[in-house]
Homo-oligomer: A and B are copies of this chain.
Amino acid sequence: MHPLDEAIDLKPGAPNTFTGAPHPAYANMVGPFGGTTAAQLLQAAWLHPERLGEPVALTVNFAAPVAEDEILFLARPARTNRSTQHWVIEAQQSGDTVATATAVFALRRETWSATEAVMPSNLPDPASLARMPSPGPIRWPQSYDMRFIEGPFPETFDEQEQDHSRSCVWVRDEPERPMDFASLAAMCDSFFPRIYVRRRRRSPIGTVSLTTFFHADSIQLAQVGSQHVLGVAKALNFRHGYFDQTGEIWSPQGQLLASTHQLVYFKD
């Protein structure tokens, strides 16, 4: 079983509740990688017997470090309409809230469609690029195969401020795993903190809020399979302890699979 599938293998409990735990393959500096927690929160709605359709929007707020202990997930369909469903989700440990989330699920229909964002072009193939070595002993980056075109995790924190924080990277689960909403939700948090790319300076950071819009449905995700997808990310603003980070995940065939936006605390 793939580590991500183990991580999202939540056990149903009382109505609207599931239990799970952090997975060692996604361990971070303190607690688990937030992307995996986001995937678990989404999975609590996905597994719910009253689920309608597929996710189109997910917001996760990281309220406290998640301990290496059981997590209780509470997933409540707050409103179910004909073609949309609104979820309020919460993760608790020992009775305390460690994360909150909301999600919108929907039944999609064929409509006029168009992509206005522009995927970077003339990119080298993933196979022609070296896989990024894991930056230090942290476990979760080893659960991704990342091949950077621009803006990698700094090789050295030399405190040479860069003039931008843009990154462009081919990424896939490691080991390989067919793309689905759980892996896409997690991958949307796999961009390293923009402030590291920009400042090349160590500073404690922590995502406080992460929003992902899913532009793809499960059919499109199945077509991606276990290929690398392209991630692009940048920051818009750093100010007084918080910066934002905005990203896109593209299929190799040029379909925008997700757009994702997060707000991150930084210490100094």
Point out the residues of chain B lying under 8 angstroms from A98, CB to CB.
Answer: 79
Q: Which residues of the other chain, B, contact A90 by a CB distance below 8 angstroms?
A: 78, 88
The CA of A77 and the CA of B198, in the complex, are separated in Å by 33
Q: Chain A binding site: helix, strand, loop or mixed by DSSP?
A: strand
A100 with B81, Cβ < 8 A, contacts A112-B199, A116-B238, A248-B236 known: no
Q: Decide yes or no whether A237 CB sits under 8 A from chain B.
A: yes
A134 contacts chain B at the CB level, 8 A cutoff: no
Instruction: Please give me the residue from chain B that is nearest to A236 by CB atom.
Output: B117
One of A26-34, A101-109, A143-151, A180-188 at the interface: A101-109
Give Cα distance in the complex from A215 to B237, angstroms.
7
How far is the CB of A76 from the nearest CB of chain B, in Å? 10
Contact of A64 among B81, B100, B117, B242 (CB under 8 A): B81
The interface bits of chain A over 50-90 (1 if a CB of B lies within 8 angstroms of the residue's CB, else 0) are: 00000011010101100000000000001101001010101
Chain B residues with Cβ below 8 Å from A81 are 63-64
Q: A108 contacts B56, CB within 8 Å? A: no
Cα–Cα distance between A240 and B59 once the two chains are bound (Å) = 21
Binds B, one of A10-18, A168-176, A222-230, A258-266: A258-266
Pull 16 A–B residue pairs with CB atoms less than 8 Å apart, ordered by A.
A59-B209, A63-B78, A78-B90, A79-B96, A106-B208, A106-B242, A109-B240, A112-B199, A116-B164, A116-B234, A116-B235, A116-B236, A116-B237, A213-B244, A215-B236, A237-B259
